[in-house]
Amino acid sequence: MSDKALRPSPISPTVDFDSEGVQHGFLRLPYSRDDSAWGSVMIPITVIRNGSGPTALLTGGNHGDEYEGPIALFDLARSLRAEDVSGTVIVVPAMNYPAFVAGTRTSPIDSGNLNRSFPGRPDGTVTQKIADYFQRELLPRADIVLDFHSGGRTLDFLPFCAAHILPDKDQEARAFELVEAFSAPYSMRMLEIDAVGMYDTAAEEMGKVFITTELGGGGTATAKSAGIAKHGVMNVLRHTGIVAGGAEAGQTTWLDMPDGNCFSFAEEGGLIEPIFDLGDEVREGAVVARIYPTGRTGAPPIEIRAKMDGILCARHFPGLVKAGDCVAVIAVIVA
């Protein structure tokens, strides 16, 4: 089906994307329900526009339990002035707003994982309608896209900014340049477990320069991780020339996820004992975690072994683990 065959999005913005100045408003998504017959989901949005220049689309809360992005973007939305900008900055601190309000990864309305819902549907669920609006209305406006993620309640990450290996090497190079400019402590050439339906993939297939982050996790933010997000987003705006002055580059260590061997999954549930912490060097074959069966004493733990040399860049966060959970992710330091 071509885009033209789709009905218009039911979402109406209360901001005008072509007006100059700073506008704070909403993406209003009609959502009829028991407690509000003609009610709506009100997704906060800020548009800051001043003259000609590139457009940056900055998003957080794609998953509702990841907080560095929303912190950096609610702060940016209230502080960035039109006179600081050459071009347009579109800020949506909490994309999947129902999930963000509930503090959950997916939407409490329809269980939708926004980052597996692209390209979405204008006549679908609430989450699919949000995806469709980004797909057809917001992404086409953008030159560069920064989508903040963290580990949420179930994962914890070394703080990194990331982009993907792409078929278009020029697009890929511009994305990695922007990752370098973000200047997180780590920069990642990122591999996805399953890229279908992701916002990342939608933006990249449109030819946009797309970068993302994983800045911590455990369902909270720290002073350090929030600071990395705030510093990084300003660096991105400076690097693209939307805000004057060059990026304030810091030290970053480049990491690579070369293949699926970087991921380790639990085959049985239980009590997890971490053997390494984030950032620790790990050798192939080393035990990275033990999983104790919890039904009885006396049984040996299951050992999760590293399938490659590298450093531990992500780990399962809660103390109990289920079969199928991602337990550890190892990345290789790029020399």
Least separation in angstroms between residue 242's CB and Zn ion is: 25
Q: How far is CA 234 from CA 26, 82, 144, 312, in A?
A: 23, 14, 13, 28
- By C-beta, is 149 or 189 nearer to Zn ion? 149
**Binding string, residues 63-102; x marks residues near Zn ion by CB under 5 A:** x--x------------------------------------
Computed over its alpha carbons, how large is the radius of gyration of the chain? 20
197: left (phi over 0), alpha (psi -120 to 50) or beta: left
Least separation in angstroms between residue 149's CB and Zn ion is: 3
149: contact with Zn ion by CB under 5 A: yes
Least separation in angstroms between residue 62's CB and Zn ion is: 6
Tokens 């085959």 belong to residue: 267
153: contact with Zn ion by CB under 5 A: no
182: its two tokens: 């973000």
Question: Residue 179: what are its φ and ψ, rounded to 5°?
Answer: -60, -45
Alpha helices in 88-222 (DSSP H): 97-102, 126-133, 169-182, 199-205
Span of 21-29, 39-47, 143-151, 320-328 interacting with Zn ion by CB under 5 A: 143-151
Planar angle of CA 129, 135, 140, nearest 5 degrees:
145
Least separation in angstroms between residue 197's CB and Zn ion is: 13
Least separation in angstroms between residue 313's CB and Zn ion is: 15
Least separation in angstroms between residue 127's CB and Zn ion is: 14
- How many residues in the shown chain lie near Zn ion by CB under 5 A? 3
Residues 305-334 that bind Zn ion (CB under 5 A): none
**Binding string, residues 9-38; x marks residues near Zn ion by CB under 5 A:** ------------------------------
For residues 129 and 122, is the Cβ–Cβ distance under 8 A?
A: yes
Residues 38-67 that bind Zn ion (CB under 5 A): 63, 66
Span of 5-13, 145-153, 156-164, 235-243 interacting with Zn ion by CB under 5 A: 145-153
Rounded to the nearest 10 degrees, what angle do helices 169-182 and 223-239 cross at?
Answer: 130
- By C-beta, is 66 or 132 nearer to Zn ion? 66
Span of 73-81, 82-90, 142-150, 230-238 interacting with Zn ion by CB under 5 A: 142-150
Residues of the shown chain interacting with Zn ion in the complex, contacts defined by CB under 5 A: 63, 66, 149
